[in-house]
């Protein structure tokens, strides 16, 4: 707990109000009406947040004078994932925020309701339980209000702006208009209004935050599900606002060759697979086209295809007498139980029965 580094103590706070500064995109300071400040988000504290290639994770519990927060966060190349659950002691409090980060946010309200206003641009957004949208703000300094007591739960994926724009270059007209506004630095929402989350979105979020994998396999799985979630949002926005989804993202022979090369490279490097971002670069395409083109060409996700290849190899290892625990570890599963469950789901019998 500490005073704001701006030295602000002008008594502007009202009862139940907060002030926080998003110093970086995955961290913020929260201060109460008494001038007490709390640090939120602890993975990275610097500017070079997207240059690494390894998944970083953190989970934190915070106690405030106005309530408490449970925070889970993941950092990946070009994206930051956060799940926040807040239990509040009073309703109607306010937040003031500033952020110099230039980000696109996949926004999901899992519980609670309220609104925020960006005082810089005048942009106003209301959020309601089980709704979603895609938001962009070049700068943010404003207020947020929560209308009810109880649990407020949010799930967000933040994309680097330039990366998000490149993601939709000549690949998907669904979000072209929105991406154009993002490229121009104009605050906007992909949907005219927020839409109701689908069961598939809820399931996808659960798979991102709870999955049995470790190492690079875990990173690839999380990345894959993030792009699945983005695709689900694009489909939802299309259905609501009248745009049709393209039948194919593979528009020419070169696009198809890129996906075929990605498939070959993936199999050749199954023991140490690249991330989706790396694989897209290696194959000469972008991540969105890789993910959707791979599904179109092979009727499977990149991760699903890799996982099937690994499980096929596991049968050979088991038959060669390798211990089940060792096989599970080699494949990147966090436990023998998770490996056994995946193996039986794929083949209809247990690893022990495969010997």
Domain architecture of the chain: domains with CATH: 19-197 (2.60.120.10), 307-354 (1.10.10.60)
Distance CA 72, CA 129 (A): 19
Task: Say how many Å lie between the first and final Cα of the chain, rounded.
Answer: 58
More confident residue, 130 or 93: 130
Give all strands (DSSP E) within the chain, no chain letters: 19-24, 27-31, 37-40, 56-64, 67-76, 79-88, 94-99, 103-111, 114-118, 124-127, 131-137, 140-146, 150-160, 188-189, 195-196
Nearest of 288, 285, 211, 214 to residue 254 by alpha carbon: 285
pLDDT value of residue 4: 32
Going by pLDDT thresholds of 50, 70 and 90, the confidence category of residue 34 is low
Helix orientation angle between 302-319 and 215-241, rounded to the nearest 10 degrees? 150
Q: Residue range 127-136: average pLDDT?
A: 92
pLDDT value of residue 257: 94
Helix orientation angle between 253-268 and 276-283, rounded to the nearest 10 degrees? 130
183 token code pair: 């490229």
Q: Residue range 23-30: average pLDDT?
A: 48
Going by pLDDT thresholds of 50, 70 and 90, the confidence category of residue 46 is very low
pLDDT value of residue 76: 87
Q: Residue range 203-225: average pLDDT?
A: 91
Q: DSSP assignment, residue 243?
A: P
Distance CA 240, CA 227 (A): 20
Q: Which of 97-106, 143-152, 194-203, 339-348 has the highest mean pLDDT?
A: 194-203
240 token code pair: 């609501």
Least confident stretch, 92-101, 178-187, 293-302 = 92-101
Q: Which of 16-20, 137-141, 274-278 has the highest mean pLDDT?
A: 274-278
Mean pLDDT (the chain) is: 79
Residue 213 has pLDDT above 70, yes or no: yes
Q: Which of 91-105, 118-132, 273-287 has the highest mean pLDDT?
A: 273-287
Residue 121 has pLDDT above 50, yes or no: yes
73 token code pair: 């966060």
pLDDT value of residue 252: 87
Q: Residue range 37-64: average pLDDT?
A: 64
CB 219 within 8 A of CB 55: yes
Share of the chain above pLDDT 90, in %: 28
Quick: pLDDT tens for 60-114: 888 877 788 898 999 888 888 999 998 877 665 555 554 556 789 999 999 988 8
Nearest of 279, 285, 250 to residue 263 by alpha carbon: 279
Residue 226 has pLDDT above 90, yes or no: yes
> 264: part of which helix (H) or strand (E)?
helix 253-268
Distance CA 9, CA 179 (A): 40
Q: Residue range 279-294: average pLDDT?
A: 91
């Amino acid at each position: 707990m500490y005073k704001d580094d701006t030295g602000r103590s002008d008594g502007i706070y009202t009862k139940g109000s907060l002030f926080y500064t998003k110093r970086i995109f995955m961290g913020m300071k929260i201060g109460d009406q008494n001038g007490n400040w709390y640090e939120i988000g602890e993975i990275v504290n610097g500017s070079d947040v997207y240059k690494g290639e390894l998944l970083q994770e953190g989970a934190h519990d915070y106690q405030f004078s106005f309530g408490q927060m449970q925070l889970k966060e993941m950092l990946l190349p070009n994206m930051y994932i956060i799940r926040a659950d807040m239990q509040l002691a009073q309703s109607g409090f306010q937040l003031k925020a500033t952020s110099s980060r230039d980000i696109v946010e996949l926004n999901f309200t899992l519980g609670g309701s309220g609104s925020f206003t960006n005082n810089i641009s005048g942009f106003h957004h209301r959020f309601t339980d089980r709704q979603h949208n895609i938001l962009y703000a070049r700068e943010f300094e404003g207020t947020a209000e929560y209308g009810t007591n109880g649990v407020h739960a949010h799930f967000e994926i933040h994309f680097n702006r330039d990366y998000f724009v490149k993601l939709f270059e000549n690949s998907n007209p669904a979000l072209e208009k929105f991406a154009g506004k993002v490229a121009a630095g104009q605050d906007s929402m992909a949907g005219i209004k927020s839409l109701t989350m689908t069961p598939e979105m809820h399931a996808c979020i659960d798979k991102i935050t709870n999955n049995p994998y470790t190492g690079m396999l875990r990173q690839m799985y999380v990345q894959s599900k993030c792009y699945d979630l983005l695709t689900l949002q694009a489909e939802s926005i299309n259905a609501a606002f009248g745009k049709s989804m393209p039948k194919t993202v593979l528009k020419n022979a070169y696009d198809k060759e890129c996906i075929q090369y990605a498939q070959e490279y993936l199999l050749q490097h199954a023991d140490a697979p690249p991330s989706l971002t790396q694989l897209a670069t290696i194959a000469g395409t972008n991540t969105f086209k890789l993910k959707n083109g791979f599904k179109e060409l092979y009727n499977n996700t990149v991760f699903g295809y890799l996982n099937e290849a690994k499980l096929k190899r596991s049968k050979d290892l088991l038959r060669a007498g390798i211990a089940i625990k060792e096989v599970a570890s080699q494949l990147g599963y966090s436990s023998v139980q998770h490996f056994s469950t995946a193996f039986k789901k794929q083949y209809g019998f247990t690893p022990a029965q495969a010997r």
